[in-house]
């Protein structure tokens, strides 16, 4: 009898504390949700504008998206493509791709190209799995290497030159780290191929 | 002990938290965040500040609730309180220090499992009034923060050759220029210091340093306790 009562009492106390702590969290989430959503949105816009300058388009990039599934975008899962338009005409895309052959795993990249297929910018999306001090030079905070894609296209340099210098290409490797830049160069090249082959479908696909 | 004075003095709480019972160098609690986020001063400072707030908040709540919580279920209740305090701090960071949250985000929930927080709830806040419990939480947190920043500084300095890099994550754009390069721009970096083994190594050095200071202190006290030799020509240095 007494043990049942003790259990009941403890159960009620636990339930009360569970309700109180959950209520405290819920209240705080409610109070900050607008600010948090704003922050997330502006961080996303900032990331996109780094590879697709805001002056090149006038639509809402975050709203004008479509997903595509193609191994050239990194894996077998749907990847998001943001479509930039200027006065309604195609102005370029930002592809959210994976470089699957990084040294420590897949590296997520944002690749911006203009309508003709010239790279407007590439950025690594943190966190990355590469070795600090070696492979992490793909990060714009660590080195300018990632800027070497700017202005490149499949026409210049031609296909064979889309490789690190060690493999006979145009892109620098890092001292002590070849795998990471090789993975990034290959992934960007593949995404450009995909864009070239699917250009019309990319802009025509309905936004969600 | 029902009055508002703690079982030990505030002075003792402060000394314990910052030095004598320091969470890291003495109790060796909370080593998980120590390894994960002590790669730079800014990461250490961010994680340390978050821990200070969580500790003060959870200690205060535990202290307020202590009369209502039977001994048998105190641990689940404490864990609930700590988890919700951590979640609250996480959302506040997301709202007001978003860039820092992006760096530390995945480590913030780990504060819940920082033994140090539950340890203070159990060993202090559950037996003491509100104010001393808050002070204890804050001081334990500050002691934790101090070691985290020191370790972050050592690893950043030797690993990357910089100090105070990326402080703008915490203090806004004006802090961008705080970064210093004591070894010049050509510093090649020292990978070991940045990788997790480096954290163990430098933490060991810090603990050794603390023990050395304690040892000297004890020796000096011992020397003071024994009567001074009459013939010594020691200069009196203290008033």
| A110-143: pLDDT as tens digits | 999 999 999 999 999 887 788 776 788 898 887 8
User: Distance between alpha carbon B206 and the CA centroid of its chain, in Å?
Assistant: 13
pLDDT number for residue B142: 95
Of A13, A22, A141, the CB nearest to B68: A13
Is residue A51 a contact partner of residue A111, using CB atoms and an 8 Å limit? Answer: yes
Class of residue A4 by CB neighbours under 10 A (exposed 0-12, middle 13-18, buried 19+): exposed
pLDDT number for residue B238: 53
pLDDT number for residue A140: 87
The answer to whether residue A158 scores a pLDDT higher than 80 is: no
pLDDT number for residue B1: 41
Could you tell me if A23 lies within 8 Å of chain B, comparing CB atoms? no
The answer to whether residue B214 scores a pLDDT higher than 70 is: yes
Residue B148 to residue B145: CA distance in whole angstroms: 5
Spatial neighbors of A15 by CB under 8 A, at least 6 apart, are: none
Could you tell me if A32 lies within 8 Å of chain B, comparing CB atoms? yes
> pLDDT confidence of B5, banded at 50, 70, 90?
low
Average of pLDDT values for A150-164? 85
Query: What are the tokens at B153?
Result: 């500084």
In the DSSP assignment, the letter for residue B135 is H
Lowest mean pLDDT, pick from A42-56, A150-164, A173-187, B102-116: B102-116
Q: Do B39 and A22 touch (CB under 8 A)?
A: no
The answer to whether residue B97 scores a pLDDT higher than 90 is: no
pLDDT number for residue B121: 92
Q: Do B94 and A132 touch (CB under 8 A)?
A: no
Could you tell me if A10 lies within 8 Å of chain B, comparing CB atoms? yes
> Helix, strand or coil for residue A76?
coil
Spatial neighbors of A110 by CB under 8 A, at least 6 apart, are: A47, A48, A50, A51, A94, A95, A96, A97, A121, A122, A123, A125
Class of residue B31 by CB neighbours under 10 A (exposed 0-12, middle 13-18, buried 19+): middle
- Torsion sign over Cα B183, B185, B191, B197: positive
Q: Do A29 and B91 touch (CB under 8 A)?
A: yes
Please confirm whether the linkage preceding B57 is cis (ω < 30° from 0).
no
Q: Give A-chain residues touching B92 at CB under 8 angstroms.
A: 28, 32
**Average pLDDT in chain A:** 90
Between residues B110 and B201, the one the model is more confident about: B201
> pLDDT confidence of A1, banded at 50, 70, 90?
low
Spatial neighbors of A38 by CB under 8 A, at least 6 apart, are: none
Average of pLDDT values for A147-167? 86
Residue A69 to residue B172: CA distance in whole angstroms: 39
Spatial neighbors of B8 by CB under 8 A, at least 6 apart, are: B16
Q: Give A-chain residues touching B81 at CB under 8 angstroms.
A: 17, 21
Average of pLDDT values for B231-239? 55
Of A10, A17, A22, the CB nearest to B72: A10
Chain A interface mutation, best of B42, B54, B71, B91, highest count of A Cβ atoms under 10 Å: B91
Could you tell me if B83 lies within 8 Å of chain A, comparing CB atoms? yes
Query: What are the tokens at B78?
Result: 């404490």
Q: Give B-chain residues touching A10 at CB under 8 angstroms.
A: 70, 72-73
The answer to whether residue B180 scores a pLDDT higher than 90 is: no
Lowest mean pLDDT, pick from A89-98, B101-110, B147-156: B101-110
**Average pLDDT in chain B:** 85
Q: Do B102 and A36 touch (CB under 8 A)?
A: no
Q: Do B65 and A17 touch (CB under 8 A)?
A: yes
pTM for the complete prediction? 0.75
Closest among B103, B108, B139, B104 to B124, alpha carbons compared: B139
Of B92, B94, B160, the CB nearest to A39: B94
Neighbours of B18 (CB within 10 A): 17
Q: Give A-chain residues touching B60 at CB under 8 angstroms.
A: none
Spatial neighbors of A167 by CB under 8 A, at least 6 apart, are: A182
Residue ranges of domains in chain B: 10-178
pLDDT number for residue B234: 56
Nearest residue in chain A measured CA to CA from B187: A133
Percent of chain B residues topping a pLDDT of 90: 42
Is residue B47 a contact partner of residue B104, using CB atoms and an 8 Å limit? Answer: yes
The answer to whether residue A157 scores a pLDDT higher than 80 is: no
Q: Do A132 and B191 touch (CB under 8 A)?
A: yes
Q: Give B-chain residues touching A47 at CB under 8 angstroms.
A: none
Query: What are the tokens at A136?
Result: 């992490």
Closest among B32, B57, B37 to B141, alpha carbons compared: B57
Q: Do B191 and A131 touch (CB under 8 A)?
A: yes
Residue A51 to residue A55: CA distance in whole angstroms: 12
* Chains A–B, number of C-beta pairs less than 8 Å apart: 68
Q: Give B-chain residues touching A22 at CB under 8 angstroms.
A: 84
Average of pLDDT values for A153-173? 85
The answer to whether residue A48 scores a pLDDT higher than 70 is: yes
Chain B interface mutation, best of A39, A47, A127, A131, highest count of B Cβ atoms under 10 Å: A39
pLDDT number for residue B237: 53
The answer to whether residue A75 scores a pLDDT higher than 80 is: yes
Percent of chain B residues topping a pLDDT of 70: 92
The answer to whether residue B239 scores a pLDDT higher than 80 is: no
Q: Give B-chain residues touching A126 at CB under 8 angstroms.
A: 102
pLDDT number for residue B96: 87
Class of residue A140 by CB neighbours under 10 A (exposed 0-12, middle 13-18, buried 19+): middle
Closest among B159, B150, B171, B176 to B100, alpha carbons compared: B171
Average of pLDDT values for B173-190? 83
The answer to whether residue A31 scores a pLDDT higher than 70 is: yes
DSSP helix, strand, coil percent of chain B (3-state; round to 5): 70, 0, 30
Nearest residue in chain A measured CA to CA from B189: A133
Neighbours of A1 (CB within 10 A): 5
Could you tell me if B105 lies within 8 Å of chain A, comparing CB atoms? no
Neighbours of A190 (CB within 10 A): 20
pLDDT number for residue B2: 43
């Amino acid at each position: 009898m007494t043990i049942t009562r003790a259990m009941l009492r403890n159960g009620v106390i636990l339930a009360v504390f569970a309700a109180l702590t959950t209520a405290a969290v819920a209240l705080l989430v409610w109070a900050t949700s607008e600010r948090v959503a704003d922050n997330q949105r502006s961080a996303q816009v900032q990331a996109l504008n780094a590879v697709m300058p805001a002056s090149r388009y006038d639509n809402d990039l975050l709203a004008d998206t479509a997903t595509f599934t193609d191994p050239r975008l990194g894996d077998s899962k749907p990847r998001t493509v943001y479509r930039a338009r200027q006065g309604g005409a195609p102005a370029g895309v930002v592809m959210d791709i994976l470089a699957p052959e990084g040294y420590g795993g897949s590296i997520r990249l944002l690749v911006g190209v203009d309508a003709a297929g010239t790279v407007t910018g590439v950025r690594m999306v943190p966190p990355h799995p590469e070795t600090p001090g070696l492979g992490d030079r793909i990060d714009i905070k660590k080195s300018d290497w990632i800027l070497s894609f700017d202005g490149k296209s499949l026409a210049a340099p031609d296909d064979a030159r889309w490789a690190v210098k060690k493999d006979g290409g145009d892109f620098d490797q890092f001292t002590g780290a070849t795998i990471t830049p090789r993975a990034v160069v290959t992934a960007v090249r593949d995404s450009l191929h995909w864009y070239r082959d699917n250009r019309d479908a990319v802009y025509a696909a309905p936004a969600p | 002990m029902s009055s508002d004075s703690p079982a030990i003095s505030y002075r003792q709480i402060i000394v314990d938290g910052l030095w004598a019972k320091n969470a890291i160098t003495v109790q060796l609690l909370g080593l998980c965040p120590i390894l994960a986020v002590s790669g730079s001063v800014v990461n250490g400072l961010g994680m340390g500040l978050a821990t200070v707030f969580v500790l003060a908040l959870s200690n205060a709540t535990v202290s307020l609730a202590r009369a209502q919580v039977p001994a048998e279920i105190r641990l689940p209740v404490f864990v609930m309180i700590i988890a919700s305090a951590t979640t609250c701090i996480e959302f506040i960071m997301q709202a007001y220090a978003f860039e820092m949250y992006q760096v530390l985000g995945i480590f913030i929930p780990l504060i819940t499992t920082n033994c140090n927080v539950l340890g203070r709830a159990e060993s202090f806040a559950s037996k003491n009034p509100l104010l001393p419990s808050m002070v204890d939480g804050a001081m334990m947190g500050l002691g934790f923060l101090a070691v985290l920043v020191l370790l972050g500084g050592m690893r950043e300095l030797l690993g990357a050759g910089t100090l105070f890099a990326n402080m703008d994550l915490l203090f806004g754009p004006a802090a961008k220029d705080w970064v210093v390069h004591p070894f010049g721009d050509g510093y090649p970096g020292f990978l070991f210091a940045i990788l997790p083994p480096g954290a163990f190594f430098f933490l060991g050095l810090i603990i050794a340093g603390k023990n050395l200071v304690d040892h000297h202190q004890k020796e000096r006290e011992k020397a003071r306790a024994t009567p001074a030799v009459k013939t010594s020509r020691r200069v009196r240095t203290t008033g």
